[in-house]
Amino acid sequence: MRKTVDGRAKSVRGDILAAARELFAEKGYRDTTVREIARRAGANGAAVNYYFRSKDALYEAVFDEAFETFGRPLGDLVGSVRDQATWRAALEKWFDFMLGLFLLDDPRQALVRRLVAQERSSPTEFCRRIYDGVFVPVVDVFRALLRMALPDEPAESFQAQFATLLGMCTCFIHRDPPWDEIILCPAMEREAWVRTLRDQIVATIVARYSFRTSRVAPR
């Protein structure tokens, strides 16, 4: 029964991992049961605890797999800036990446988004791992870009501008119904909506800020 048509043994472990990926993304850690995972994987309830030590360990496996290659596409965005034009281009690329992550429903990215969303309002023990390992490094790229426009801004004032501008994209992490109604645009294709949002965010930023120096102090 656990054989495919061509006779190869199917990976029950893989099926369970895939089902867990979907369910943890949909409902979060706490509201997902191992029975449910097993049912969706077409496996037995005991198989989950056989292949993975526990529900906890399974969540960790899903977690690590999801965030393994996260942030890679950004490359050396900070180092690419030389003047106003390249600064603006870097901003566009950064918000494109973030908005794509939050709004496009690529399965892998959807998992990252949902896990982050769940961990934001109901942190588990793995929350630190997302925050320090993934969120902070990516967000620090934007911090560095903003510093280039405000090299001498005092810490508190800089932090206020950084936090509020960051919110222009992070607000899209949470878009389950009915909250999507207020921040999405059903009339547009999702890719076009991402481009529109990115253009508006960057337009808002360049209306107030402009490139001054690429020699920026650290945080």
Partner DNA sequence: GTCTATATGCTGATAGAC
Partner DNA sequence: GTCTATCAGCATATAGAC
Give contact residues for a copy of itself (rule: CB under 8 A): 27-28, 30-31, 117-118, 120-123, 127-128, 131-132, 135-136, 139, 155-157, 159-161, 163-172, 174, 176-179, 181-185, 187-188, 193, 196-197, 199-201, 203-204, 207-208
Closer residue to a copy of itself, CB minimum distance, 16 or 145:
145
Closest CA to 2 of 36, 33, 43: 43
> How many residues contact DNA, by CB under 7 A?
21
At closest approach, how far in Å is the CB of 88 from a copy of itself?
15
Cα dihedral 190/193/198/203 (nearest 10): 180
- Min dist CB 189 to a copy of itself, Å, is 11
The two structure tokens encoding residue 91: 């901003």
For DNA, what does the binding mask look like between residues 18 and 57, x meaning CB under 7 A? --------------xxxxx------xxxxx-xx--xxxx-
Q: How many Å apart are CA 97 and CA 170, to the nearest integer?
A: 12
Ramachandran angles phi, psi of 3, nearest 5°: -115, 145
Taking CB within 5 to 8 Å according to partner kind, which of DNA, a copy of itself, none is near residue 28? a copy of itself
Toward a copy of itself, which CB reaches closer, 9 or 187?
Answer: 187
Please tell me the distance from the alpha carbon of residue 51 to that of residue 58, in angstroms, as a whole number.
9
User: What are the φ and ψ backbone dihedral angles of 9, each rounded to 5 degrees?
Assistant: -70, 125
Residue type, 202: V
Spatial separation of the C-alpha atoms in residues 110 and 104, rounded to whole Å: 7
DSSP string for residues in 68-115: TTTTGGG-STGGG--SHHHHHHHHHHHHHHHHHHHHS--HHHHHHHHH
Least CB distance to DNA at residue 133 (A): 24
CB nearer DNA, residue 13 or residue 175: 13
Q: Which does 74 bind (CB under 5 to 8 A by kind): DNA, a copy of itself, none?
A: none
**179 contacts DNA (rule: CB under 7 A):** no
> What minimum distance in Å lies between the beta carbon of 73 and a copy of itself?
21
CB of 42 to DNA, least distance (A): 8
DSSP state letter for 8: P
Given the rule CB under 7 A, which residues bind DNA? 1-2, 9, 12-13, 32-36, 43-47, 49-50, 53-56
